Amino acid sequence: MTAATTIPNSLRTLPDERGHFGQFGGRYVAETLMPLILDLEREYRAAKEDPAFQAEFDGLMTHYVGRPSPLYFAERLTGYYRKRAKPGHCAKIYFKREELNHTGAHKINNCIGQILLAIRMGKTRIIAETGAGQHGVATATVCARFGLPCTIFMGAKDIERQQPNVFRMKLLGAEVRPVTSGSQSLKDAMNEALRDWVATVENTFYIIGTAAGPHPYPELVRDFQSVIGKEAREQILTAEGRLPDLLIAAVGGGSNAIGLFHPFLDDPDVAMLGIEAAGHGIESGEHAASLTGGRPGILHGNKTYLLQDEDGQITEAHSISAGLDYPGIGPEHSWLHESGRVQYLPITDRQALDAFQLCCQQEGIIPALESSHALAALEAKAQEMRDDQIIIVNVSGRGDKDIYTVAEALGAQI
């Protein structure tokens, strides 16, 4: 018997009970993992209804993470674009400042939520995957905070490229386990973490770093990150007395973007733009734009848009920004893309680098290269809007981690 589901006229009620966002999502996992995934889902539903869980999450957000993060009017950047726009044009630009969070990005929001779930489930060991090391550092941070041992799976190639983050994780007490299979990067680290999990489900909790993976991960990561959009909504109503006209966020797996977008999905007058990393350009084949340059397939437990060759082999992603360097995207974004509710736009390494420098010079804020992709979209978008319109850009992280990459790209010696 198929359960009769009510057709939602809200865009905020998905996934359905089997984890689907339209044709995307689901849970394509090894049979041994199924009981654990169901356990996790049951526990998550219970936690959601438990005021004590919410209170603990909120308390940590306030006192450990430093929330709410400010919503900041980027006055000089707005002025810069206005000088170049037609009279009466260029929207007012606000930054949602996730870069001011503890550990310097939005990832901590999700890690706090998931470790509270792990503790609630009585798990005594944490595992996670990491690419550039940002999610690894956020995970190692919450593990130190709660006194749980953790193992971070990281591609051997990434370990070489990201020494400072590897050392940070070690300082925080994590074991960093090199993954030497496949392309020795993020995709392989995630495979390896899933493999470890199958063997250790009894005592181990897997903290996934973005709004992807098997159901219920895309949903719970989104819910924990929705603190971004909920705050932004209240803050813009206080500042301007109305909702914004456009939201912009960079999309790797899609967690900071869905966190900002989700609380606004049912507001038809709020447009949304997700920015994919176009690397050296879509035509070059060296990019990380899963929606623009990929097609649907199955990876890491869910159906979604993926970069793949003719044989369905997952291809390697490229972006100057390590956090956007993932060959997939969360399933909810695939659905929002196909339904047309959210627009997705590719931005190249070069455009992101220019936006990075402009933000430093105009606002005195060094943004992450990931966030710089979102900022780069302002050049085209802000100027075509009227000057009584409002844009909120999610500044997902700070750029201190990126200065070596930027120096190299600009040919500077440091």
- 256 is an interface residue for ligand PLP by CB under 6 A: yes
Q: Which residue out of 41, 98, 129, 276 is catalytically annotated? A: 129
Tell me the number of residues near ligand PLP by CB under 6 A: 19
Is 187 one of the catalytic residues?
no
Going through 105-162 in order, the beta strands assigned E by DSSP cover: 125-130, 150-155
131-160 residues near ligand PLP, rule: CB under 6 A = 134
- Angle, nearest 10°, between helix axes 217-225 and 34-49? 30
Q: How far is the CB of 256 from ligand PLP (least distance, A)?
A: 3
Residues facing 178 on adjacent strands: 154
Among candidate residues 255, 193, 150, the one with its CA nearest the CA of residue 29: 193
Shortest Å distance, C-beta 266 to ligand PLP:
22
Pick the closer one to ligand PLP by CB: 82 or 323. 323
**Is 396 a residue of the active site?**
yes
- Closest Cα to residue 110, out of 375, 330, 316? 330
Write down the residue that tokens 């895309």 correspond to. 218
The least distance separating ligand PLP from the CB of residue 179, rounded to whole angstroms, comes to: 18
Our finding on whether 250 is near ligand PLP (CB under 6 A) is: yes
* Direct distance between the N- and C-terminal alpha carbons of the chain, in angstroms, rounded to an integer: 65
Does residue 129 have an active-site annotation? yes
* Nearer residue to ligand PLP within complex by CB, 210 or 308: 210
**Binding status of residue 253 toward ligand PLP by CB under 6 A:** yes
Stretch that binds ligand PLP, among 61-69, 149-157, 254-262, 406-414 (CB under 6 A): 254-262
User: Which has the closest alpha carbon to 257: 96, 410, 46?
Assistant: 96
> Using the rule CB under 6 A, is 220 a contact of ligand PLP?
no
Identity of residue 238: T
CB of 54 to ligand PLP, least distance (A): 23
> Minimum Å distance from CB 373 to ligand PLP?
8
HEC profile of 245-296: CEEEEECCCCHHHHHHHHHHCCCCCCEEEEEEEEECCHHHCCCCCHHHHCEE
Our finding on whether 40 is near ligand PLP (CB under 6 A) is no
Selected binder of ligand PLP within 19, 68, 113, 252 (CB under 6 A): 252
Contact code string over 100-129 relative to ligand PLP, x by CB under 6 A = -----x-x----------------------
Q: CA 365 to CA 343: how far, in whole Å?
A: 27
Among the listed residues 92, 96, 107, 303, the single catalytic one is 107
Structure letter (DSSP) for residue 173:
T
Contact 123, 205 (CB under 8 A): yes
Task: List contacts with ligand PLP (CB under 6 A).
Answer: 105, 107, 134, 210, 250-257, 323-324, 368, 370-371, 396-397
Catalytically active residues are 107, 129, 396
